[in-house]
């Protein structure tokens, strides 16, 4: 009997030992690689679901452990999410700020804890930022304005629909508009009859802005330039509802949401600017991996002051190239844009 007890105790003791490869105390295998957090301003718009997917997929391939949080365009919520991500052990925060100025405090807070910060898609206004990865937002404004000038012969009444006030992307697109249109505005050929910012880049607000502009001008509008697809949809809806769909008003948007690309192919909207999400998200993951692991970050990065910047190209989409740039590339499926054949 004594020998049998000894065997049972020996087996029990062996079972208590934990090899290095065993699960941890919680019963789950330990995560491999540094944690990185993607903090998005919102997931409510179509494109940001892509940002999340492409970033997380690329980060995992690079040996990182990613997770994503979204602030619903709320500054206070994003600050709380910064604290949450730091407490969860993130080594790098990739932040699309709800407010570019307010986010400077996020960088200071993260650096206190030894955490690196990458501004994603939108600038963070502080010289201590570790990296900035974005589309060339100024070029978005230039492309839209140049196409409008070509379509209108460089004359007429223009409506400019800008995004959130104080938002770096909205400011850069608006700068692209202003500098491209300036020679025509200065000589009186183009008149900007309405230019307005819109909270949360709201399509509903932009619809109201265009309705007001139509009333103000009695429908005498030649071009409407919108900072994003959502506001361009508001413009299209206002123009169609006013019975001006056949007047040939030039309407431009950016982000290439499926509904807008379909509008382009239907002739309800003139152009979209495609800001391809996959290269942007993958570049951000590469930068995050380099910062997390302390390895060199390769690529054609330029210096903007002391901050390294990676600018991702943007392209014009019209009826002639929509199928190639949108469907054939896999950006949207043919079913999502049925008018683009």
DSSP states of 156-198 as a string? EEEEEEE-STT-HHHHHHHHHHHHHHHHHHHTTSEEEEEEEE-
Confidence at residue 311, expressed as pLDDT on a 0 to 100 scale: 84
Distance CA 48, CA 293 (A): 26
Same domain, 193 and 320: yes
Q: 152 and 122: one domain?
A: no
Over residues 281-301, the mean pLDDT reads: 88
- Asked whether residue 172 falls in the same domain as residue 266, the answer is yes
My answer on whether 179 and 322 are in the same domain is yes
Mean pLDDT, the chain, whole residue set: 89
Q: Is residue 339 part of a domain?
A: no
Residue 23, domain member (yes or no): no
Q: How many domains does the chain have?
A: 2
pLDDT at 19 exceeding the cut of 90: no
- For 208-227, how does the pLDDT look when each residue is reduced to its tens digit (9 = 90+)? 999 999 999 999 999 999 99
Instruction: Take residue 324 and report the two structure tokens written for it.
Output: 């190639």
pLDDT, residue 298, reads 67
pLDDT at 90: 98
Structural domain range at position 247:
137-276+316-328
Does residue 197 sit in the same domain as residue 96? no
In a domain, 30, yes or no: no
- For residue 308, list its beta bridge partners: 303
Q: Is the pLDDT of residue 26 over 50?
A: no
66 — phi, psi (to 5°)? -90, 150
What is the mean pLDDT of the segment spanning 285-306? 78
Give 92-143 pLDDT, tens digit per residue.
999 999 988 899 999 999 999 999 999 999 899 999 999 999 999 999 999 9
Residue 228: pLDDT band by 50, 70, 90 thresholds?
Answer: very high
Are 216 and 322 part of one and the same domain? yes
In a domain, 6, yes or no: no
Q: How far is CA 66 from CA 55, 116, 165, 207, 288, in A?
A: 8, 14, 30, 37, 10
pLDDT bin (cut points 50, 70, 90) of residue 177 is very high
The predicted model gives 172-199 an average pLDDT of 98
- Evaluated on CA atoms 16, 20, 21, 24, the torsion sign reads positive
Query: Is pLDDT of 2 > 60?
Result: no
Torsion of CA 81, 83, 84, 86, to 10 degrees: 120
| Same-domain pairing of 202 and 167 | yes
301 confidence band (pLDDT: 50, 70, 90)? low
Residues 250 and 290 in one domain: no
Are 322 and 306 in the same domain? no
Residues in the chain: 341
- Tokens 């006013």 found at: 242
Interval 36-49: pLDDT, tens? 999 999 998 878 99
Q: Is the pLDDT of residue 21 over 90?
A: no
Q: Percentage of the chain surpassing pLDDT 70? A: 88
Q: Are 112 and 203 members of one domain?
A: no
At 161, list the tokens.
């629909």
For 230-275, the pLDDT digits (tens) are: 999 999 999 999 999 999 999 999 999 999 999 999 999 999 999 9
- Do 164 and 115 share a structural domain? no
Q: The CATH number of the domain where 148 resides is what?
A: 3.40.50.2300
Domain identity same for 93 and 162: no
pLDDT for the residue 31: 56
pTM value surpassing 0.85: no
Tell me, yes or no, whether 9 lies in a domain.
Answer: no
Whether 20 is in a domain gets the answer no
Q: Could you give the C-alpha distances from 187 to 181, 182, 191, 220, in angstroms and in order?
A: 10, 9, 10, 19
Segment 65-104, tens digit of pLDDT:
999 999 999 999 999 999 999 999 999 999 999 988 899 9
């Amino acid at each position: 009997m004594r020998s049998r007890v000894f065997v049972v105790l020996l087996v029990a003791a062996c079972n208590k030992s934990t090899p290095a490869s065993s699960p941890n105390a919680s019963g789950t295998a330990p995560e491999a690689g540094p944690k990185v957090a993607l903090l998005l301003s919102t997931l409510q718009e179509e494109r940001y679901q892509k940002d999340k997917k492409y970033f997380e997929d690329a980060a995992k391939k690079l040996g990182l452990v990613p997770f994503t949080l979204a602030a619903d365009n709320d500054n206070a919520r994003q600050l709380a999410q910064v604290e949450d991500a730091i407490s969860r052990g993130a080594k790098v925060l990739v932040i699309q700020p709800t407010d570019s100025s307010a986010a400077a405090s996020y960088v200071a807070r993260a650096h206190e804890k030894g955490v690196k910060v990458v501004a994603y898609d939108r600038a963070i206004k502080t010289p201590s930022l570790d990296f900035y990865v974005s589309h060339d937002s100024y070029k978005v404004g230039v492309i839209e304005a140049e196409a409008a000038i070509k379509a209108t012969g460089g004359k007429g009444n223009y409506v400019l629909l800008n995004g959130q006030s104080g938002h770096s992307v909205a400011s850069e697109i608006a700068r692209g508009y202003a500098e491209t249109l300036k020679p025509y505005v200065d000589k009186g050929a183009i008149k900007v009859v309405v230019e307005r910012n819109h909270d949360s880049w709201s399509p509903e607000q932009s619809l109201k802005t265009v309705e007001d502009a139509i009333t103000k001008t009695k429908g005498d509008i030649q071009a409407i330039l919108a900072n994003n697809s959502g506001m361009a949809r508001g413009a299209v809806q206002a123009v169609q509802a006013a019975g001006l769909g056949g007047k040939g008003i030039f309407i431009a948007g950016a982000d290439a949401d499926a509904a807008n690309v379909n509008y382009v192919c239907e002739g309800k909207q003139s152009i979209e600017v495609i800001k391809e999400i996959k290269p942007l998200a993958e570049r951000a993951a590469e930068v995050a991996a380099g910062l997390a692991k302390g390895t060199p970050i390769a690529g054609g990065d330029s210096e903007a002051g002391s901050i390294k910047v990676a600018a991702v190209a943007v392209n014009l989409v019209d009826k002639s190239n929509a199928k190639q740039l949108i469907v054939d590339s896999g950006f949207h499926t043919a079913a999502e844009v049925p008018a683009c054949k």
